[in-house]
Amino acid sequence: MKRFFKLDRALIPEYIIATVLMITNIIFAASFPYHTTHKVYYDSSAFVVVIVISFLLYNLSLFSTKKKSANDIAVVLFGFFLLWEVAYKLGWIHNDLLLPSPEGLFHVFVEKTPEILSDVWGSIQLLFIGFSLAAILGTILGLLAGWIPRVREVLLPISNVITLIPPLMFSAYLIMLLTTFRQAAIAVIFFAVFWPTFQGTVVRVGQIDKQVIEAAKTMGVGTVGMLWKVIFPYCLPGIIKSISKSLRGAFMCLSGAEMLGINLGIGYFIEKYKSFADYRCVLAGIVTVGVITTLIDLGVNKLEKAIIKWEN
C-alpha cells in the first residue's frame, strides 16, 4: 500500500503542474462569468464533475503504473480544458453556436441523460447482434477455407475484392433491400467484421506448424476433429486479439449507418441535433462515441489477457 502512494521524484514536478491546472480549471469554472453573443449561461457543475473524475482517473493511473506518460496526458488534457475555458471567460470567443463552452457541452449530459443512455443502449444492441454473427460465421468459414484448398481458392479472391469496399458504401443499397433500417444497420456491421475475420482466420490456419498437423493425422484425427481440436485452439489467440480492432471499426460503421435513417442509436442522436444546428449536442454525441470505443477497447484487452493467459 505504501508503495502505491509513493512517487519517484522525477514524476513530482509534472504532478504538481497537472494538479495546479486542475484546480485552476475549477476556479475559473466556478468563479468567473463568460461572455458570448447568445448570453446563454450553463451551470458549471457537470464540467467540474468531469474535471474531478479525470483527475481521479489520472491519479489512479499514475500511482498504479508510475509512468511519465500519465503525467504528460494529464498536463495536456487539463491545459486544453483551461485554454478552452479561458477563451470564454476572457471573451476571446464571443459566439458559442459552433464551438460551445465547456459548461455548455458537458451540461448536455445532464439535460439529455435518458435520451443519450437510450441511444447508447440501442447502438450496443445492434453492435452485439451484427458483430456476433460476423465473428462466428467468419471464424467458421475461415477455418474451412484455411483447411480445404478448394474452398479457399473460391472465397479468398472474392473477399480480397469486397474488403477493399468501405462497408458504409453498401448502406444505401441495404436500406432499400432490407425491410427495416435496423436490419440495414446490422448488415453494415456484419460486412465490416465478417470479411476481415474470415481473411485473418485463413491466414492463421496457414501459419500452423506442419509437424503439428502431421502428428494429428498420425493419431487418426479426422477433418472435424482437426478443425475443432487442433486448428481452432491454435488460431484462437489471434482471433481474440483481432476482436478489439474489429469492434472499433464495427462501431464506427454502426454510427455512420445510424446517421442514414435508423431512429435509434448514438449516430442518430448526432444526426438529429445536427439538423437542429444544436452543436452542443453534436459534440456531446461525438464525445460519447469516443468514450464508448475506449471502454470497448479496454474491456476487450482485459478479456484477452484473462483468456489467453499463456501469452501474457
Which contiguous run of DSSP H or E holds residue 244? helix 232-258
Mean pLDDT of 10-26: 90
- Given this model, what pLDDT does residue 275 score? 86
Instruction: Please state the φ and ψ torsions of residue 115, each to the nearest 5 degrees.
Output: -65, -45
Half-sphere exposure of 98 (CA within 13 A, CB side): 2
Of 36-50, 77-91, 278-292, the one with minimum mean pLDDT is: 36-50
> Which grid coordinates belong to 236?
484462437
- In the block, cell 439538423 appears at 275
Could you say which DSSP state residue 179 is in?
Answer: S
- In the block, cell 460503421 appears at 253
**Dist CA 200 CA 110 (whole Å):** 43
CB 258 within 8 A of CB 267: yes
For CA atoms 121, 122, 128, 129, give the dihedral sign: positive
Give CATH 1.10.3720.10 domain extents, the chain. Answer: 113-311
Whole-Å CA distances, 81 to 3, 148, 158, 176, 183 = 31, 56, 48, 44, 40
- Given this model, what pLDDT does residue 308 score? 67
Q: Tens of pLDDT along 155-204?
A: 888 888 888 888 877 777 777 788 777 888 888 888 888 888 888 888 88
Among 115-129, 179-193, 242-256, which range has the highest average pLDDT? 115-129
Instruction: Specify the CATH class of 113-311 in words.
Output: mainly alpha
Please give the mean pLDDT across all residues of the chain: 83
Length of the chain: 312
Query: Band of the pLDDT at 20, cuts 50, 70, 90?
Result: very high
**Dist CA 208 CA 233 (whole Å):** 11
For residue 248, give the nearest of 211, 204, 196 by alpha carbon: 196
Query: Band of the pLDDT at 243, cuts 50, 70, 90?
Result: confident
- Given this model, what pLDDT does residue 35 score? 61
For CA atoms 171, 173, 177, 179, give the dihedral sign: positive
Q: Quick count: other Cβ atoms within 10 Å of Cβ 73? A: 16
Angle at 292 between CA 291 and CA 295, to 5 degrees: 85
Helix axes 45-65, 68-89, angle to 10 degrees: 160
- Beta-carbon contacts of 296 under 8 Å, excluding residues fewer than 6 positions away, are 244, 247, 248, 251
Q: Tens of pLDDT along 38-78?
A: 556 678 889 999 999 999 999 998 888 888 888 999 999 99
